[in-house]
Amino acid sequence: MEMTYVKAINAALLEEMRRDENVFVMGEDVAELGGAFKATEGLLEAFGEERVIDTPISEALIVGAGIGAAVLGMRPVLEMQFADFISCAFDQIVNSAATLRYRHGGRAACPIVVRAPSGAGIHGALFHSQNPEAWFTRVPGLKVVTPATVYDAKGLLKSAIRDNNPVIYFEHKRLYRSIKEDLPEGDFTVPIGVAELRREGTDLSLITYGGTLAQSLDGARIVEKEDGLSVEVIDLRTLLPLDREAILATARKTGKVLVVHEDRLTGGIGGEVAALIGEFAFEYLDGPVRRLAALDTHTAFSPPLEEAILPNTNKIVEAIRDLAAY
C-alpha cells in the first residue's frame, strides 16, 4: 500500500494503539485538530479522549505526565509540536526519564516515546527548523532514532513504542509529504540500533541519516555518472545507540569517509562518528574523515539564506569530489 511519511507515522500509531490498550497519545492539538501536521488525524475518533489527549502548551508537562503514566504501566507517545521546543522538556527527559531505570536498579521502566518533528528546508526560521538530536545522543538511558524513509518511519515508531526505554523519535518535517513508498501489509518493525546499507560502493563511504539521506543518494548517483566514482551510502537510522560495526566496516572497506547531516557542524553526531573511525579504523584510511553539515548559525527565514546554511545535493557532490581527490 502506497503511503507518505506522515501517513506511515499515523498508521503506526493506529496499529499500536489497537494492539496494546496501554498505548496512548498526548500533546498539543493532537486530538481535535489531529496534530499540527495531521500525524494523529483520526485517532480521537478511533480511541476517544481518554487515549488521545490535548494538553496545555507546556512540553515539560507533557513529558512529565508521560513519565508518571509510564511508571504506572502505560506506554505514552508524547508529541512535541516542533522539535525546537523539546528544550522546554529537557530536564524531564534527561534527568527524569533517562535516569529512571538506573535509579531504581532496573526494577522500573520508562517506556515513553517523544515524537519530535524536526528539520529545516521549509522556511520555518529560528524556532521551527532545528535538528536538536545531538543534545540527547550523549545521555545514557535514552534511545534516539531518525527515520529517513517511509518504511523506517513506520517500523521504527512501532519498535520505539514497544521498547521499555525512553525513545526520542525525530521525524523530519520536509519528508512528511515529499516521499512515498509501497509498504507491506501486516505488522513489521525496524530494529533500533541497526544501520542500513542504502547503496554499495568501493571508492568512498558516505554516512548520513534523516533529512539528508535522499540528498546523499542523489549526490552518489551524480558522481557515479559524471566522475565514475563508486560511493557507498550508510543510513544510520539510530543515533543512540550507534551501529559502530556498520560504521567501522564501511570505513575499512573504502578508506575514505564523508559524514553528512543537517544538524550544525560543531557538536553534531558527525564528530562522534569521525572520532570512532579515527580511533578504531585509522590504519585503513586513505584520507581525513570529512564532515558536511549546516553552518554554525541560526536557520534563516529567507529561502536563499536558508539554502546557503543547509547541506544540499550540490554541496554533497562537491564534498565527495574533494575527498575522492585527496
Looking at the annotation, which residues are catalytic? Answer: 128
C-alpha span between 254 and 202 (Å, rounded): 5
Contact (Cβ atoms closer than 8 angstroms) between residue 27 and residue 65:
no
C-alpha span between 241 and 138 (Å, rounded): 10
C-alpha span between 240 and 137 (Å, rounded): 6
C-alpha span between 279 and 272 (Å, rounded): 10
In terms of phi and psi (left: phi > 0; alpha: psi -120 to 50; beta: otherwise), the region of 105 is: left
262, containing H or E segment: strand 257-264
Alpha helices in the chain (DSSP H): 5-19, 43-47, 59-71, 90-91, 98-103, 150-162, 213-227, 244-254, 269-280, 303-309, 313-324
28 burial class (0-12, 13-18, 19+ CB within 10 angstroms)? buried
C-alpha span between 55 and 137 (Å, rounded): 27
